[in-house]
Amino acid sequence: MNTPLIDPFQRAVTYLRVSVTDRCDFRCTYCMSENMTFLPKRELLTLEELDTVSTAFISLGVRKLRITGGEPLVRRNILTYFQGMARHLESGALDELTLTTNGSQLHRFAGELASIGVRRVNISLDTLDETKFAKITRWGRLPQVLRGIDAAQEAGLRVKINAVALKGFNEDELFPLVEWCASRDMDLTFIEVMPMGDLGNEDRLDQYWPLSDLRARLRERYSLTDLAERTGGPARYVRLEETGQKIGFITPLTHNFCESCNRVRLTCTGELYMCLGQEDRADLRPSLREPTAPPLEDAIRAAIRLKPKGHDFDYSRQEVAGQMPRHMSHTGG
């Protein structure tokens, strides 16, 4: 139990992303279909099972826990799980408990999350235009998200905005989005759209805006200083000298960030994905529910031994390679 989780490429696994639900109150076009068929509730891990498996990972050396979905805050009684994880913050076994959210429910939960021990949240927001926001999210409403951001900041949570870079959609908002985040003292990370989900509805090649181009546009207006900072995820950061703000770039297409990967992803059904861009997975649910299954710790270690070197996402030669059939919402990004 004291031996850390080391994958076949000598990378320590210290970061677990837990998708607590596949459900969401938005239907973002790059994340899920408009008419989704969600899992039966009986297939989902209970909140108690999520606690058990998360606690096992923490005992095996995981120091950072990020809660995702779907939209994590739409799961009933989800604060019970957060409260359970807070004991690991208090003991010092866990360095950080955080979440990624669309912001729609933050006005309800921000204060309680802060009191539990959450210190920062990532909020997905691709546009500040209300009409475009309704189009990209299908079901979302921008004022509701802005209200959530207000509530998060009022509660003392550090907010980072995650924006997917979408060619022909938010290219014209690059500078307004940067300036808006600077005015509110929020960091901002741009993400390249990944080839996941039902590509019959949305053509990723048409959406793909390489962050190398986005970064070059930023240099036209700002002085960019590369930062050595790492937050346990795939982003690489720069500081805009004129505003002092931090800008992140997650570039699975223009730059493969797999060499330092320290994370795995647990789905709401108990499947452990060792790589976002590969289909290899291990089912941990039997170890939680079946007396004859391998002990949970053994199942986790066996899964980590199968962690691949990296993904195969590629848009070169004007075709999509490394495509994943599952929707982004299934593994929580």
CATH number of the domain within which 174 lies: 3.20.20.70
158 annotated as ligand-binding:
no
222 annotated as ligand-binding:
no
Q: Determine, yes or no, domain membership for 293.
A: yes
pLDDT for the residue numbered 315: 41
Q: What is the mean pLDDT of residues 285-309?
A: 95
17 annotated as ligand-binding:
yes
HEC sequence for 49-92:
HHHHHHHHHHHCCCCEEEEECCCHHHCCCHHHHHHHHHHHHHHC
Q: Determine, yes or no, domain membership for 5.
A: no
275 annotated as ligand-binding:
yes
Q: Determine, yes or no, domain membership for 9.
A: no
Q: Picking from 28-32, 66-70, 87-91, 184-188, which range would have the lowest pLDDT averaged per residue?
A: 28-32
HEC sequence for 188-236:
EEEEECCCECCCCCCCHHHHECCHHHHHHHHHCCCCEEEECCCCCCCCE
Q: Determine, yes or no, domain membership for 1.
A: no
CA angle 152, 158, 163 (to 5 degrees): 85
Q: Determine, yes or no, domain membership for 251.
A: yes
54 annotated as ligand-binding:
no
329 annotated as ligand-binding:
no
231 annotated as ligand-binding:
no
Question: Six-digit token pair at 240?
Answer: 């805009």
Q: Determine, yes or no, domain membership for 240.
A: yes
Question: Six-digit token pair at 328?
Answer: 């982004």
Residues 6+ apart with CB under 8 A from 15: 62, 63, 64, 66, 232, 233, 262, 263, 264
Tens digit of pLDDT for each residue in 144-199? 999 999 999 999 999 999 999 999 999 999 999 999 999 999 999 999 886 544 44
Number of domains forming the structure of the chain? 1
Q: Determine, yes or no, domain membership for 159.
A: yes
263 annotated as ligand-binding:
yes
pTM, to two decimals: 0.86
pLDDT for the residue numbered 203: 55
Q: Residue 197: is the preceding peptide bond cis (ω within 30°)?
A: no
Q: In which domain, by residue range, is 142 found?
A: 15-331
244 annotated as ligand-binding:
no
Q: Determine, yes or no, domain membership for 94.
A: yes
pLDDT for the residue numbered 297: 97
